[in-house]
Structure 1
Amino acid sequence: MSEVYQVTEIYIYPIKSLAGISLNQAKTEEMGFENDRRWMLINSENVHVTQREYPIMSQFYPQISDGKIKIAFESENHEFSMDEFLENPIKSNVWEDKSEVFEVSKTSSKWFSDKLGFECRLVKIIKSGDRKHESSRTNEIYNVSLADGYPYLLIGTQSLDFLNEKLEEKITIKRFRPNIVVSTKNAHEEDDFKTFTIGEVQFKNIKPCGRCIMVNNDPQKGIVKKEPLKTLSKYRDVNNSVLFGTNIVSLNSGIISVGDEVVF
C-alpha cells in the first residue's frame, strides 16, 4: 500500500456501553487500551447491561482524573476510585464468555440503579485472564476486557464518508464506538489489513466487525433510529452479518498517538 495512513482519532470506553473518551495518546495492553472497558454494569442476574436494551446509557459521560472516574448524567455527578472494589468475586458472562468481576462499591451500584431505574451493579475486571474469548475465525483464545468480543476496533475514515454519502441525516464515527480511526483512501479497505504497526505497537487484524442495533442509537440523544443499519444492510450484509470496521489485537504493549503513521 503506497498511501500514507495515519491515526486520526483514539477512543476508550471505561465503562462498557457508556459514552467514550477521546484521547490523543493511549497505552496498549493485551486486553485492550489501558482503562478501556474494565468496568461494566450487570443486572440482578449478573448479566451485562448495554445500550441495546437501555439506549439512555449513552448519556452517561465518564472522565478520568487523579485516579478517579467521574460520571456525569444529566445534572448529576458520581465518582469512584479506579482502584476501588469489594473482595468477593462475581461470576458473570459477556455473551458466551465466562468472566470474573468484582463489585466496585455499594454506593456506586446504588447510584446507577437509581439513575437507570432498575437494580444493577457496577463491576470491574481485575486482571488479564479473568475473561477469555475464543475466536471462531482463528480458533485462538484471547484475553480480553469486557468489550463484546475483541480488544480493539479499527475503522477507516472513508468507510464513514462512503456511508454518509448515502444517508439523509449524517452521522459521526461515534455511532460505531471505535478504538482507533485511521485515514484511508477507499471505503472498508481496513477489512483487508493484515499485520501492521502504529507507533510502538504491532497489531493483527482478526476479522471485520458485525454490527447490531446499537449503532442506531444516536449517542447525542439516546434515541434509537432506523439508520444507519438500514442503509448498511443494503451493501454490507455478508452471511446475515452487517459489517463495519474490523476487530484487531495488539501483539505487544506500547504507546500509540493521534498522528502516528500506520506501517504495513
Structure 2
Amino acid sequence: MSTKFEVKQLFIYPIKSLAGIECKELNAQEMGFENDRRWMLIDENNEFVTQRVHPKMSQFYPKIVDDRIEIRYQNALHEFQIEEYIGEQIHSKVWDDSCQVFEVNPNTSKWFTDQLGFVCKLVKIINAGDRKHNSSKLNQNLNVSLADGYPYLLLGTKSLEFLNDKLEEKITIHRFRPNIVIETNFPHEEDDLTDFAIDQVEFKNVKPCGRCVMVNTNPINAEVKKEPLKTLSTYRKVDNSILFATNVMCLNSGKIQVGDFLIKN
C-alpha cells in the first residue's frame, strides 16, 4: 500500500544565499529545479559568499520575468538575462567541491559590489558536470548546482509545527530554504522516505540535512539570533550535526506542481 503526501509549497533560490522565489510549478532536473542556485557571488579570491558572513544577502529579492532575472535590494533594482555569461571559465569551489563558473557580466558584478560594500562577482554554472559532489552515503559522485551539497531539500509541515511549539518567537519555513514542502502527519516523517515519486518524477532520499548558523538569520530583517538552532540542538543533534529537513536527489526530469502528491511505495 502506498503512502501519499500532498505538495504544499515549491521554492527555488536562483542566486545562492539570496532570498528565494515561491512557485506553483517547476521543472525538476538532475542538478536541481530549473534556475535553482545556478548563480552565486564570489569574492576577489573566487571564494563563494553567503549569508553566514553577510546576513544582509537575505534582503536581496530575485524575480524571474520572462528571460531575465530582476534583483531588488531596498530601493535599488537590477536585472540581467538568464542566459548571459561572458569571458573565460573561472575556477571556484563550493565547500570541498571544485566548480567551473562564468561571470554574468561586469555591470551586474559592479551592482552587487556597490550594494554589498565589497568587491564581488556574480557567476553562473553552465553545464551538468561542472560541479560534482561526492556522496559518501551513496558512494557516488552527483552532478549538482551551486547548492551546499545536494540538489533538493525536502521538508514536512509537521517538523516546523513541532519546532514552533518549542519556540517563544515563531518562525516561518523560509528559515530552512526548502525546495519541496509536503504535508506530513508527524514531525520528521520526511527523514524516513526512501524512493518516491511526485507525478512522473522519481526521487531518492539521501540523508537528513545538517544545519548551520544560517538558519538563525531572520529573512525578514537580516537579524541574527541564537534560535532556532539552539532549540533544535536539544532534540535533533546527532553526533556533531543538527538535523532538519532531508537531502534529496532526482532520478529523471519532469514537471511537478503544488497539489501533486508525493507517493512512497
Contact 2:18 2:58 in 1 (8 A): yes
Deviations 1:204-255 (A, max 9, x none): 0000000000000000001111100000000000011000000000100001
How far apart, CA to CA, are the structure 2 residues paired with 1:132 and 1:173?
Answer: 28
1:66, distance to aligned residue in structure 2 (A): 1.5
The alignment status of 1:101 with 2:101, answered yes or no, reads yes
**RMSD (CA atoms):** 0.8
How far apart, CA to CA, are the structure 2 residues paired with 1:262 and 1:101?
Answer: 33
Gapped runs of 5+ residues in structure 1? none
How far apart, CA to CA, are the structure 1 residues paired with 2:248 and 2:62?
Answer: 24
Residue of structure 1 in register with 2:214 after alignment: 214
Classify the secondary structure of the residue corresponding to 2:233: helix
Contact 1:3 1:185 in 2 (8 A): no
Residue of structure 2 in register with 1:168 after alignment: 168
How far apart, CA to CA, are the structure 1 residues paired with 2:262 and 2:72?
Answer: 34
Classify the secondary structure of the residue corresponding to 2:215: helix
Residue of structure 2 in register with 1:255 after alignment: 255
* TM-score for the superposition, normalised by structure 1: 0.99
Percent of residue pairs identical: 61
Residue identity matched to 2:228:
P
Residue of structure 1 in register with 2:140 after alignment: 140
Residue of structure 2 in register with 1:204 after alignment: 204
How far apart, CA to CA, are the structure 2 residues paired with 1:214 and 1:92?
Answer: 21
Contact 2:203 2:249 in 1 (8 A): yes
* TM-score for the superposition, normalised by structure 2: 0.98
How far apart, CA to CA, are the structure 1 residues paired with 2:233 and 2:108?
Answer: 39
Deviations 1:92-132 (A, max 9, x none): 00000000000001100000001000000000000100000
Q: Give the count of matched residue pairs.
A: 264
Residue identity matched to 1:125:
I
> After TM superposition, which residue ranges in structure 1, 4 or more long, deviate above 4 angstroms?
none
Residue of structure 2 in register with 1:87 after alignment: 87
1:87, distance to aligned residue in structure 2 (A): 2.6
Classify the secondary structure of the residue corresponding to 2:178: coil
Gapped runs of 5+ residues in structure 2? none
Residue of structure 1 in register with 2:130 after alignment: 130
How far apart, CA to CA, are the structure 1 residues paired with 2:108 and 2:3?
Answer: 47
Contact 1:110 1:121 in 2 (8 A): yes
Residue of structure 2 in register with 1:187 after alignment: 187
